[in-house]
Structure 1
Amino acid sequence: MTRALAGDASTRRGDKDSKAEESAGKARLQLAVPLAALRDTILSSDTVMRRVIPGLAIVFIIVLALFRAGELATSHSDTEAAAQTTLSLMATVTANRLNAIENTLPVNGFRTTLKRALADSLPAGATARSRIFLVADRSGTIAATAPAHPALEGKPISALLSPSQPLTVFGARAGVLSIPVDLGRDETSEQYLATVHHLDGKLGMVAVLQSEYAVYANWRDDLSANVTLFVGTSLVLLAVIYGFFSQATRAESADEMYASTRARIDTALTHGRCGLFDWDLSRGRMFWSSSLYELLGREPKDDILSFADVADITHPDDIDLLGLAEHLLETGETLVDETFRMRHADGSWIWLRARGEIQSEPGRAEPHLIGICIDITEQHQLAEQSRMADLRLRDAIETISEAFVLWNAKNELVICNSNYQSLHSLPNSAVKAGTPYSDVMAAASNAEIAPQPVTVTQRGGAPEGSYEAQLEDNRWLQISERRTKDGGFVSVGTDITALKKHEEKLMESEKRLKATVSDLQKSRQTLEFQARQLVEMADKYQEEKTRAEAANKAKSEFLANISHELRTPLNAIIGFSDIMTQEMFGPIGTERYGDYCKDIYSSGTYLLNVINDILDMSKIEAGRMSIDTEVVNAASVAEDASRIVTGAATEKNISVTTDVADDLLVHADKRALKQILLNLLANAVKFTSDSGVVALKAEPRGDKLRFQVTDTGIGISERDIERLAQPFVQVENQFTKTHQGSGLGLAIARSLVELHGGSLKIHSEVKKGTTVSFTLPLAENDD
């Protein structure tokens, strides 16, 4: 690569040569993305091609067979027509010539002379291809033949040509006939083409015969050649189809095995919180496994990622991907072990540890960095927490005024603060972790005069495990020691020299104590004052809450009043626009006016529906909506609601099904129940894509009847479900919404269900669908 990734390097270094490399790198990246898309397109169509190609090949064989059969049939007809035309022409020419020389034929030697005259009258090549010329006299007896057939001469021509018909009838026929002819040989009769022409004078007629076997000799050769070629071509093509299908089957099996293996690997990687990557260093492209996408909260895909895509979500303070690629290519190093952060889909940072090795594919020079990324966010957080805890502990130990030291179970130093070091005048080498207690005390220049285990005078009231000790410089310490759970002990030494030497200052300390008590009392008074303020604030909050509820009620009443005021003019707008659309009082002129009227009617209807929803919601919020429960047939109401939404569903090719038993009765307000089902079905149809399914189902659950509306629509995320049934709330905002509506459908349905004493539940998965359910009390069936 010299630099496929040079785009970022040019900005950092700012030199002209690297800018040229940046342009080259961007061009290679732009070319890589379409190639990856083309590869994905080819792979996606591979399954279709495996099924289509064998079918196309078989169709080709059938079409080829039909085409060649048609050509051969046409050739057969053409051959027959040509033979008939030739026979008719030859018979005509021969008849004309014989008519011309008929008067010159002598009476004596008539047959001999007629044979010579017939031979002279024949056109050139007339006797070729098994043609036979017969000349009969007036009595219908064959007088001459060409070529010579002595066995036929003297026989009645009618017996030869048509034994079952009189000669006069046969001779009167026009054209060429296909008849069986017996030439007097021992073999059976053959099928011949025959034509007859009458002659003038002493001669009766001339007949021309040609064997059909000879006529179709060339056609049979063509038929044999075509059949041979077709059979050979079909066998070769079928062998190719078999090879292709066999190869396709093996490829499909290999794909399934690959997919299964990949799924197992992805499952293992996902549960292991890690993912695979393949970085083409020369092209700047990168491939991620699906587990790596899921690790970062992103949708898995098979696309090749560009360097810019990866760099955008990598923390710039942790790693320089461009610099890493350049370093690997320039130094020839093959192993990589880096820790860095990448941005999660929710905006947070994930700590990853990438370990990989550079490999080159056989026959290709492009190096690939292949490795694994492990999620170490928890480990990093734990390490950070441990480090911070250690720092806090050290800071706490260091900031206390007492001398602090901790020993382990082996009586070795773990940690101490600077007060302990300065108290005993210890060098830095003696306060390292792991130094034995004896070595520390040996290095101390200000040791205890009466060290342990010698009994030391206890101060009155000192806690258990505490004692006083005097140092060599005559200072006094109060040392408190406690055992730790691991067998070590912690020691805290307090300098009480001043207390010892200035006992008289005890009173002053007592005064300071009293002052502290006074401060505490003042603090208590302050807290009591703050408590009173909190009570006052709570009262004010309650007043403001009451005002807000009153304002909300006033808002609902205002919406109800304004909705009434808007419905009257809207009814007029809708009615008059409908009259103009139907042209009840005559045409309105230009067709565009008609379109405008339709737009006015649809807009007015839509606005009226929105106002009706607002009015219903206002009545509910104002507490003026009441329900009159009665025994209602659930199937009838469900059928009415589904029938109303059928029109909108048909436009989107959505199937609306209803599964409600005819004998199910509920205690409910019929109008309210119909509105609930209508709102839920309309919402389901609105947010279901074309060719989807919307299902309404009702089934008993104890003493309740559970209604359920299920769709295969776009679905709702969990964070949006709780606020979706609130008035005027929609998942899509005004800039991204793709569906019309006031956002009151679910709110009205939920409120009406709650007025019945029930609750409306929503369960949904994004891109899979939504299920909305509620229950109503069952009524007893008198039948």
Structure 2
Amino acid sequence: MARAYIANASARRFADFIKRQKGAASLTGHIRLLAQPAYHRLLASEPLFRRLIPALSVIFIASLAIYRALSISYDHQEIATRARDDLSMIATSLSARLTLAESELPDIGFATALQTALSDNLPPRATSGGRQIFVADADGTIVASAPIRPGLEGRPLAGLLGAGQPLTVFGERAGVLTIHEGRDNAALATVHHLAGRLGMVAVIQAEDAVFADWRADVSANVTLFVGTAAVLIVLIYAFFSQATRAEQADQIYAATRGRIDAALNRGRCGLFDWDLSRGRIFWSASLYEMLGQEPRDDILGFAEITAIAHPDDIDFYELAETLLETGETTVDRMFRMRHANGSWVWLRARAEVQSEPGLAEPHLIGICIDVTEQKKLAEESRTADLRLRDAIETISEAFVLWDSENRLVMCNSNYQTLHDLPPSLIRTGTPYTQVMATARQPVVNTSAIGATINDASSSYEAQLEDGRWLQISERRTKDGGFVSVGTDITALKRHEEKLMESERRQIATIADLRQSRQKLEVQAQQLVELAEKYSEEKTRAEDANKAKSEFLANISHELRTPLNAIIGFSEIMNQEMFGKLGSDKYQEYCKDIHESGRYLLNVINDILDMSKIEAGRMELKSEKVDLGEIVQEVTRIITPTAKEKHIVVEAQADEDLTLSGDRRALKQILINLMANGVKFTQDGGTVRIEASRTDETFDVVVTDTGIGIAREHVPMLAQPFVQVENQFTKTHKGSGLGLAIARSLTELHGGSMDIQSEEGVGTRVHLRLPVSGQPPADGQSAAAPEEA
């Protein structure tokens, strides 16, 4: 806070100094850039601050003293109250315990037994904090003490508490009183009467021990208060001392600024300071004069600068945004700004972003130099050069100009193309030897170019590597250089050659056509043979597929009949419908026969379903189906099997999941996926099914925390009779058709199935069914699949 006051006082004195020197009534522009708008408010309130600071400091010290005194007084009262409560509770607890133990004290060795009973029945921390406990007999003589005080035993308790003390008369009703008040040995004491052979129990605690911590706290507070007051006095002295020094610094700053302004005016340059975050800019007086404006000791707004800047040269907003976002720290830009007379002045700005500790926001600080004259000279030179280059570019010949020292002056694109020169080599001033060393040389029929350089003029014909012909003419210039022009005469040189070449190409074309026709005849014959072989192989494949389908249909019928009998009779025997089997082994064998029969029947059903799908005889019976209801049914079916392995089955389905499809097929898909998840998940795992809807699809996701499979084996899943073997799946039998049937039934519904798995983590199967519920394009039909 003192530092802020110092800065305010310094700026105020500097403003007064400028007012006296220039008669100005405003703050200097550069200081405004750093301090506006809070500076004006602080400047106006500085005299008030000077008067308030000492008064506020005294008030603060007095308030602090009063607060600490009240706080210490309250602490003293609280400590006294807590000490009295502790004495009363200790005396009450000890009285009750000694009353119970009195009947067990012997007559012989009564004092020793009482001392032991007192030690055993003391409450926790009863003697801490300097507390003394005394037990007196019925005559009021001290018999036992804690801590043990042998010197006081046998003395009357009334003598220890003081003559005429109401504690010995009223006992517990007297409460906790102060004994020996006003003396050095003042203490708090309480007395409780006992029954039987015991007379009284007294608990005493010296006030010095009670208030020892409080006195230390008072000492620390006094020390802290004195130190705080001393620091505030030093800070007040430092504030007024620093304000005086700041006034002297302001005078030095004003003199230095005058010298800098004079130097900037002579050098046709100006200083600027741009607050990038707030868009406020300070200009030196020399910069105003360069633009023909009256110097102002004020801050320019962002809009004022943008209004006089040429929009084609610079965008100050974009520049500030780039500097703040990219972190660039330097700027070197040339742009135009409007002079007071309406003309444009070219300025070159060189600046650097500064983020000093004293500046809250980054500032772009630099100079602007008037480069209008240099820009005009450069523009005139560039215009003349462009006109000359346009002239030599418009000619169709290859043109090159060398100076008297055989250095390149200029050339056109035709010359560059002729010699295949890179752009980096055709710069002005490149030596002739360097150009020729890199250039692609034409095949010249006459003497080399170097032999003709000393002649006033020369001309020759040259044939290039690409077959073109040029007539090259070279002439000496007045300054000792030479110019070379190459004219393309290829049309004249090759007119007759083109006719002969055309005839040769026609002959070659006829020969190529004859060979192509022969190749086409051979390829046609090969295609006929391949078509015949394909037809034969297709017929064989169709016959084999038909035989397979008939075999599966026949064998399934033949196997189902005995299997039904095996399953039925084994179930009857397992349930012992006609009486006991006799041995537990028989029942175990019947159960194995029943389970094996069911497993074999499921395998046969899967094979038949897969055969129907492959043969295109699977029919989907379209109806309105609630997918959420199917999810709940499948969950109920799978849950008993999952509970046997302590697997948690979770299901979640959104509302309004009605779609058109075959209910049995959809149910079989989900059962197959959930059964696979339970089958390949270890005990204690989780299998989860989720159903939701988007604008275009119904999504069903089945995830498990099972063994998973390697990424390279994922593409093999959902193929008929394919199982990815590992240490876990070897113990789980199956036909390998569950996923294949699920994928096929999903595709028959017009949907898709995506499988993702990670070994040791689990598997995720994602089904997508169309909202429209359209069947596949082929529209195949047969009986609906039976549930496994």
Could you state the TM-score of these two structures normalised by the residue count of structure 2?
0.36
Relative contact order (alpha carbons < 8 A, sep ≥ 6): 1 or 2 greater? 2
Could you state the TM-score of these two structures normalised by the residue count of structure 1?
0.37
